[in-house]
Amino acid sequence: MIAERFIYGFPRSLESRRLPAEFDAFAFTIPYEGQLPLAYNMLQALSSASSQKFFTIVGGSSPTSNPDIYLEFFDAVYVGELEPSVHLVVDALLEPSSLLSSVPGIFVREKESFQRVYADNLNTIPHLVKPIISDISPITEGYPLEVSRGCPMSCKFCVGRVIYSPFRWRSLSVLKDIAERIVESTGVKRLTLIGAGLSYVPHLPQMLEWLVNKGIGFSLPSVTPSLIFKVHELIQYSGTRTITFAPETPSETLRRYIGKAIENGEYFQAAFLLRKSIKNIKLYFMFGLPDEREEDLTQLQSFLEEFVKFGFQRRNIKISATPFVPKKGTPFEDEGMPPLKELERKARYFRRLRKEGYNVSVYPPKAARAQAVISLGDKKVGKLLKLLIHKYGVKGWLKLPETKLGASILQR
C-alpha cells in the first residue's frame, strides 16, 4: 500500500508527484466547516482527473462534531481520534464495501448511529518524530509536540471539549523522550507545544524547565493567566516573543456567563509579569455571543489600554476577532446567530481599533454565518450546499444563510 499527500490547488501528490488516477482511496482531514466547500471542489477535480471510481473518507474536528452532513460528500466519516482504529481502517480500505462499516468510529450511510473513538492513554500513542517535509510544507516555527488532548474547562461555546473529551496528557517522562527524539532526528531547536487544555497539565512547568535546561526553545498556544503566574520566569529563556490569551470578551460578566471564569485583572497581572520578556501579545475575542450587550463591547477600548500601560506597543497587540459560531453538541448549540447587519456593526468595534495602531484581524461575519449552517445542518443542508457550489462556484457556500433552510437554522 502507498499513502501520499495531496494539497488543495496542486494536481499531483507531494511525495512522488503521482496523479490522482493512480490511487484507489482518498482520506480528507477537515478541521472546520469552511473547508468543506474546498474539499468538495477538490473531490470534483479528483473525479475529473480519474476515470475510475475511488473511495473517500473524511475525519477531523468538524466531521466528528456533525458527521451527518459529511455523508453527502464522502463515502464514510471517521468520528473521533484515529490512532485506536488506524490499523483496522487501513485494512478495511482494501475492501471498504465489506469491512469498513464494522470498524469502531466509522459512520456510513447504512448505519443509524456512530461511536466516537478516543485514545484512553496518550502515553501509548506514537508521536511523529521525523516527518516527511516537502518544499510546500516546511517547518518554520518549531516542531509540534502534542502534550495533551481535551480540556477541563466548561466553556459553553467550545466544541473542542465535546469532541476531545476526556482531558488527557502525556506523562513528563514520555514528553521528555519524545522531545529528545525530535531534536535528534530533525535537528530543530524549538518546539511548539500543542494542547487546548495545556495550561492545566500538572507537570507542564517541570517540562518547560527541562526544555530551558536542555537549550530547547518553546512556543505556547493560548494559555491562561494562572499558567503564566507559574512559568513567567521560564518564558524569558524560551526564545518566544509572543504570548497568547483568549479572553473572548472584555466583559467579566459575559465571560462568566459563557463558562470562562477568569477575571480581567488576571490577564493584566500576567501581562505585567511578561512585560520585559515578551514583545507581542495576541488576544482572541468573539462577538455576537448569546446575551451580549452593547456595554460589553464598549469595554474593549479600556481593556486593551491596560496592556499599553505596561509598555506594550499597540502595533504589537494582535487582536483576532471572530463572530460566535454555534457548534453542534455544545450548550450553545441552539442559540442561533444575530443577523448579518448586526454582526457587521459589532465587528466595527474591532475594525476601528486599526486607526489607533492595533493589529486587528476580523473573521468575515458572512462566512461565519455560513459556517454555522454547516455546523448545525443535516443531510438536507449537504444537498443544498452542493447545489449552491454547482451554481455559483466554490464561494457559493457563502449563500447558505440567505436560503430559507439556512435562515431557519440560524434563528434564535
For residue 388, the surrounding DSSP H or E stretch is: helix 379-392
pLDDT (tens digit, 9 = 90+) per residue, 65-85? Answer: 999 999 999 999 999 999 999
Q: CA-CA distance, 328 to 157, in Å (whole number)?
A: 10
Q: What would the mean pLDDT of 298-310 be, rounded to a whole number?
A: 97
Q: CA-CA distance, 323 to 406, in Å (whole number)?
A: 17
Please determine, for residue 290, whether its predicted confidence score (pLDDT) is greater than 70.
yes
Q: What would the mean pLDDT of 252-274 be, rounded to a whole number?
A: 97
Residue 187 CB partners (closer than 8 Å, separation 6+) = none
Please give the CATH number for the structural domain made up of 125-378.
Answer: 3.80.30.20
Which residue did the predictor score with more confidence, 364 or 10? 364
Q: CA-CA distance, 379 to 386, in Å (whole number)?
A: 11
Residue 13 CB partners (closer than 8 Å, separation 6+) = 4, 5, 6, 19, 23
Kindly indicate the confidence band of residue 141, based on its pLDDT and cuts at 50, 70 and 90.
Answer: low
Query: What integer pLDDT is reported at residue 7 of this predicted model?
Result: 83
Whole-number percent of the chain with pLDDT over 70: 96
Query: What integer pLDDT is reported at residue 133 of this predicted model?
Result: 64
Query: What integer pLDDT is reported at residue 135 of this predicted model?
Result: 59
pLDDT (tens digit, 9 = 90+) per residue, 95-140? Answer: 755 678 889 999 998 888 888 999 999 999 999 998 776 555 555 5
Considering the chain, tell me which residue range(s) the CATH 3.80.30.20 domain(s) occupy.
Answer: 125-378
Helices (H), 125-218: 160-163, 172-186, 204-213
Query: What integer pLDDT is reported at residue 139 of this predicted model?
Result: 57
Kindly indicate the confidence band of residue 384, based on its pLDDT and cuts at 50, 70 and 90.
Answer: very high
Query: What integer pLDDT is reported at residue 130 of this predicted model?
Result: 85
Query: What integer pLDDT is reported at residue 142 of this predicted model?
Result: 85
Which residue did the predictor score with more confidence, 115 or 282? 282
> Three-state SS for 120?
coil
Whole-number percent of the chain with pLDDT over 90: 80
Among residues 354, 366, 374, the alpha carbon closest in space to that of 399 is found at 366
> Three-state SS for 25?
strand
Query: What integer pLDDT is reported at residue 349 of this predicted model?
Result: 98
Query: What integer pLDDT is reported at residue 11 of this predicted model?
Result: 82
* C-alpha cell of residue 326: 454555534
pLDDT (tens digit, 9 = 90+) per residue, 21-38? Answer: 888 889 999 999 999 999
**Bridge partners, 144 (sequence order):** 192
pLDDT (tens digit, 9 = 90+) per residue, 144-154? Answer: 999 999 999 99
Q: What would the mean pLDDT of 295-317 be, rounded to a whole number?
A: 97
Please determine, for residue 397, whether its predicted confidence score (pLDDT) is greater than 70.
yes
Among residues 320, 308, 387, the alpha carbon closest in space to that of 350 is found at 320
